[in-house]
Chains A and B, each alone.
Chain A
Amino acid sequence: MHSTQKSVADSFSDFVESEEKDFTLRDGSRIAVVGGGPAGSFFSYFLLKMAQAIDLELEVDIFEPRSFGYCGPAGCNHCGGIVSESLVQTLAAEGIVLPRSVVQRGVESYVVHMDVGDVTIESPVHERRIAALYRGNGPREGGDSELESFDGYLQNLVTGLGARVVPELITGVEHRDDRPYLKYGDGKGGQYDLVAMAAGVNSNIINMLNELPGDYLPPKTTRGYICEFRSTKEEILRILGRAVHVFLLDIPRFEFAAIIPKGQFVTVVMVGEDLDQELVHAFLNDPVVRRTFPTNATPCVCSCSPLINLGARKRPYGDRVVMVGDSGITRLYKDGIGAAFRTGKAAATSAIFHGVSAGDFEKHFWPTCRNIVNDNRVGKVMFATNAIMKNSRLTRKAMLRMAQKEQEKENARPHMSTLLWNMFTGSAPYVEMFRGTLRPGFIYNLLLSVGAALVPGRKKTAQPRKKAA
């Protein structure tokens, strides 16, 4: 008798426990998204789309103090503004067509500049599949230029699906009664069934999450540099064309820089682990860089040094909390917006179809993050190898020669061109690029080019071959 009573009590307590530990989203569940950048918007977009598909009614609040309608820093989530080829294609397959007002330039080629010469690398499909855009409403001096913010465009998509944008800064996150509780800037607060942390890395909030379940640590970061230059549309098109210009220069501590044409402005972006004013100055004054600049370009007041995510230190989730985009895991140096898309969608899929416990995120969200983490490991090797190659004049000449030959010949296999294209555009996973470098054709042609580079010759700038009809 006693034992039967115990078993009833046991099942009752199991029942209560399982009720308490119900981690599925139901009609009326409240979801908070902290940050309305790409990660927050992509997460909300897919969460609401999937919820609609299974007739689930959710309340989604996106907390975002920034208004993307403003020019300059007030409306901008500082970044180079390149949307990668892979993300452009994925968005199109998802039915998201970026309008002309958002895309400042469709990019169809990259020009690699070195002291030993330049090479233009055409898009493998001779199409504009990379977008150069502004995250906010353009530079501080943008004024009345006809442009629309990318982040603002995404936010409109999400509000169209029923999300509410709350223009509040979140000042703290606590755990109360088994649910995350957000403290708003106005002193009030609210409890949620799920919090998606999409505040990027340029926010203090990610240092204040130690009260949440799980053992979140903010990602490692370094600073990048962005500056806008103003010229005229015509001059920019004449000098820079529709290409992004990237540089392989032997300046001490220099890692990566790009010059991106956008309407009447030119964006200069630099990233690297050891970037400071001195290095920025050395880059902007390098003769190779100076000859690439529109002659009448003047720096405008819009410049910034945002943080860039260099890798998460812990798994980015706990019960009812998930970190998406830069706040969690992103791709090393490239395609951060693409990573925001991937992690945002994976977190939304897990929340809708599986649940919002740490275990659910571990099973259904983490695999996407793990793919990025593993790929970044290979990326580190690729960047280290690139650093060695760009520091030697001989290998710079060999890389240039190999890419030039490929671009000039109609049917040449584009070994080096593909590597440089993918490395600079972030269009392919690092693993794929690495595999490309192991192909016998790549190694053979590189050795030939090293041999040829040993022979003194004149400096040459390659013209890409004629486009296929």
Chain B
Amino acid sequence: MVGGALGKIYRNGEIIIEQGQTGDSMFVVQGGRVEVLQNSLKGGLQHLAFLDSGDFFGEMAVFEKEVRSATVRAAGEARVLRIDKKALLTRIREDPLLAVNLLKTMSHRIRHLNEEVARHRKTHL
């Protein structure tokens, strides 16, 4: 059985969040692995990343009202904990530093995205 004892178990391939849907929570992987995918222009799903224990996803829904920007599904059996937007924002109001951990990951993802864009440009020039 996958590590951790909290959250919910998702079976291999089970979708946790779906691109284009609205959401009011973010998620933290407690055990196992999940895969982040995005609809590709040619149709079908394009692999973006794998996330492991301690990684989170869906955090954009906490800060903005946009729809989910990617689909995340279990890669093998995975255990995932949901964090409610309201509970998180209430805690952040008392303790703004709680957002720092989220910002760190978000900034890491922007850096990764920039690198991807730069690589993409190079190969298409």
- A126 proximal to B (CB < 8 A): yes
Residues of A near B82 (CB, < 8 A) are 125, 127, 129
CA distance A89 to B53 in the complex (A): 14
Q: Are the C-beta atoms of A128 and B94 separated by less than 8 Å?
A: no
Q: Are the C-beta atoms of B4 and A129 separated by less than 8 Å?
A: no
A99-107, A154-162, A320-328 - interface stretch: A99-107
- B28 proximal to A (CB < 8 A): yes
Q: Are the C-beta atoms of B98 and A94 separated by less than 8 Å?
A: yes
- A88 proximal to B (CB < 8 A): yes
- A204 proximal to B (CB < 8 A): no
Residues of A near B123 (CB, < 8 A) are none
CA distance A99 to B5 in the complex (A): 7
A101 to chain B, nearest CB (A): 9
Main secondary structure of the interface of B (DSSP, over half): mixed
Q: Are the C-beta atoms of A97 and B28 separated by less than 8 Å?
A: yes
- B88 proximal to A (CB < 8 A): yes
Q: Are the C-beta atoms of A127 and B101 separated by less than 8 Å?
A: no
Q: Are the C-beta atoms of B7 and A99 separated by less than 8 Å?
A: no
Q: Are the C-beta atoms of A103 and B102 separated by less than 8 Å?
A: no
CA distance A89 to B27 in the complex (A): 9
CA distance A103 to B26 in the complex (A): 22
Tally chain B residues at the interface, Cβ within 8 Å: 26
- B13 proximal to A (CB < 8 A): no
A262 to chain B, nearest CB (A): 11
Q: In the complex, which residues 25-73 of chain B have their Cβ closer than 8 Å to any Cβ of chain A?
A: 26, 28, 30-31, 53-54, 56
Q: Are the C-beta atoms of A128 and B8 separated by less than 8 Å?
A: yes
A342-B95, A349-B97 as given contacts; A100 in contact with B81, CB under 8 Å: no
CA distance A99 to B4 in the complex (A): 5
Q: Are the C-beta atoms of B95 and A93 separated by less than 8 Å?
A: no
Q: Are the C-beta atoms of A128 and B5 separated by less than 8 Å?
A: yes
**Nearest B residue to A90 by beta-carbon distance?**
B91
- B6 proximal to A (CB < 8 A): yes
Residues of B near A86 (CB, < 8 A) are 87, 91
Residues of B near A345 (CB, < 8 A) are 95, 97
CA distance A128 to B83 in the complex (A): 12
Q: Are the C-beta atoms of A103 and B54 separated by less than 8 Å?
A: no
CA distance A345 to B84 in the complex (A): 21
- B3 proximal to A (CB < 8 A): yes
Q: Are the C-beta atoms of B8 and A127 separated by less than 8 Å?
A: yes
Residues of B near A368 (CB, < 8 A) are 94-95
Contact of A129 among B7, B31, B88, B98 (CB under 8 A): B7
Residues of A near B3 (CB, < 8 A) are 99-100
Q: Are the C-beta atoms of A93 and B28 separated by less than 8 Å?
A: yes
Q: Are the C-beta atoms of B5 and A131 separated by less than 8 Å?
A: yes
- A33 proximal to B (CB < 8 A): no
Q: Are the C-beta atoms of B91 and A128 separated by less than 8 Å?
A: no
Q: What are 25 sample pairs from A and B whose C-beta atoms fall under 8 A apart?
A: A89-B83, A89-B84, A92-B28, A92-B81, A93-B26, A93-B88, A93-B98, A93-B102, A94-B101, A95-B101, A97-B28, A97-B30, A98-B5, A98-B6, A99-B4, A100-B4, A105-B5, A106-B6, A125-B84, A127-B7, A127-B8, A127-B81, A128-B6, A342-B95, A345-B97
A: residues with CB less than 8 A from B are 50, 85-86, 88-90, 92-95, 97-100, 103-106, 125-129, 131, 342, 345-346, 349, 367-368, 371
B: residues with CB less than 8 A from A are 3-8, 26, 28, 30-31, 53-54, 56, 81-84, 87-88, 91, 94-95, 97-98, 101-102
Taking A93-B83, A93-B88, A345-B95 as given, write out 8 further A-B residue pairs in contact, using a Cβ cutoff of 8 Å, ordered by the A residue number.
A50-B97, A88-B6, A92-B83, A99-B4, A103-B5, A103-B6, A127-B82, A349-B97
